[in-house]
Structure 1
Amino acid sequence: MQVEQEILQAPVTATILIITIAVSIAAFYNKKLKALFVLHPYSVNRGKRWHTLVTSSLVHSNWLHLLFNAFAVFIFSVKLEKDFVALSEWGHMQLLMLYFLSIFVSSGGTVVRYREDFWFNSLGASGGVLALICGFASLHPLDSMLIVPIIGSLPNIYYVIFILVGCVYATKKRPMEKIDHYGHLCGAIAGTILIFIFYPEVIDSIVRSL
């Protein structure tokens, strides 16, 4: 019952989850559909497959990949959508913009990095997920959503910094992995910046807390 109430209060999140899960499951059993939706930077850089800048977020490599991203979307997108609605009459639209603009930016960063690599492909909603996590943390920079062992609770803004630094480290130290670290980094940056654009007063809160 509580889950149903959460979903009813976040219709944009519910729509994103339903479409993503449905398309991902269909792609598990239809290789042509999966191939059609996967991001191929080499092709996009040559003016082809532009649709994959967004559709790549709808397909996943396996069930674990899908379940992890779907769970993260549910946890953070529901919270963020409810916060947006409480703060603005455009709240639902803000959530939609943050998610899909971040995915677009995430895919764009991937294209820039791997535009000459014919063998590199990218799929999954991880760029959007990191945008939601960083977006939620940035909207509540002085609250604490996690308790770190030994250290204790930290303001959310530090988690945003840790995520961004971690993504940068991954792009520098683990370049040979077939994991889209650049897409993750661009998604996290996009989600953070969009929060600052929507609610610039958040920046003042962060500055005054330093």
Structure 2
Amino acid sequence: MNFSSFPITLFLIGITVIISLIGFGNQNLINKTIMWPYGVSKQKEYYRFITSGFIHADWMHLFFNMFTLYFFGRNLEFYFREYALGGSIAYLTLYFLGMIAADLPTYNKQKQNENYLCLGASGAVSAVVFATIIFSPWSSIYLYGAIRVSAAAYAILYIFYCVYMSKRGGGHINHDAHLWGSIFGLIYTLALIAVLQPALFTAIIEELKHPTLFGTG
């Protein structure tokens, strides 16, 4: 595998893993970087929209996000480059704006709650996942390494899961960010195609005419 073909994805994974690992043993770092809507509102700590995306709750949280980013991000990096959709700049813009957009609803809802905290790259990763699905909706995804479903079916299940977990609550993992990051990824990428390569919609629509629940392999 040619790792040089998706350097941005590897860079994002590398820096996130390094900062997250440091954070596991440094509560002071976590306190300074975690998403704290109350602090953002009262103390104008807007940087938390970004810094909170580079720290994680535990090993499993970090692994799941980076594993997902590796498999979807490298494909999206390829699509943005090969289809002349802005390449690395467009990809990085999606990732960081996805972080911010994913946390905005939570910020508005929790900015008077001094005790609410959340962290993780889930919003940005969700944006990458759903942006990638636009180009290949029926490709196969293996849940838990064994259950094969199409990318589009995964997207629907993912949305329902996020809504359910958001209503359930608990922990510092912001499931609302998964949902809004996903929506942002779709809107951003469709807008990018409309502006830069509208002819791609013909191929995308044609692909959608051949649905499959379990993916194409």
Q: Kindly report which structure 2 residues correspond to 1:195-206, keeping only aligned pairs within 5 A, or say none.
A: 195-200=189-194, 201=198, 205-206=204-205
CA contact (8 A) 1:139 1:195 kept: no
SS for the counterpart of 1:146 is: strand
Indicate whether 1:161 and 2:161 are aligned. Answer: no
Q: Deviations over 1:150-208 (max 9, x none)?
A: x9754x33433332233233333x14565312111111111111111112346664497
2: CA distance between counterparts of 1:146 and 1:42? 38
Partner of 2:93: 97
2: CA distance between counterparts of 1:9 and 1:61? 30
Q: How many residues align?
A: 201
Partner of 2:176: 182
Stretches of structure 1 that go unaligned for 5 or more consecutive residues are: none
Partner of 2:139: 144
SS for the counterpart of 2:140 is: coil
Superposition deviation, residue 95 in structure 1:
1.1
Stretches of structure 2 that go unaligned for 5 or more consecutive residues are: 212-217
Partner of 1:26: 22
Superposition deviation, residue 76 in structure 1:
0.8
Q: Deviations over 1:28-60 (max 9, x none)?
A: 122111111100011212242210000001011
Name the CA shift for 1:120/1:13 in 2 (closer, same or farther; >3 Å): same
Amino acid aligned to 1:144: S
1: CA distance between counterparts of 2:174 and 2:92? 23
Q: Deviations over 1:73-99 (max 9, x none)?
A: 111111110111111162111111111
SS for the counterpart of 1:46 is: helix
CA contact (8 A) 1:38 1:122 kept: yes
For the aligned residues, what is the CA RMSD?
2.4
TM-score where L is the length of structure 1: 0.84
Name the CA shift for 1:25/1:147 in 2 (closer, same or farther; >3 Å): closer
1: CA distance between counterparts of 2:85 and 2:131? 18
TM-score where L is the length of structure 2: 0.82
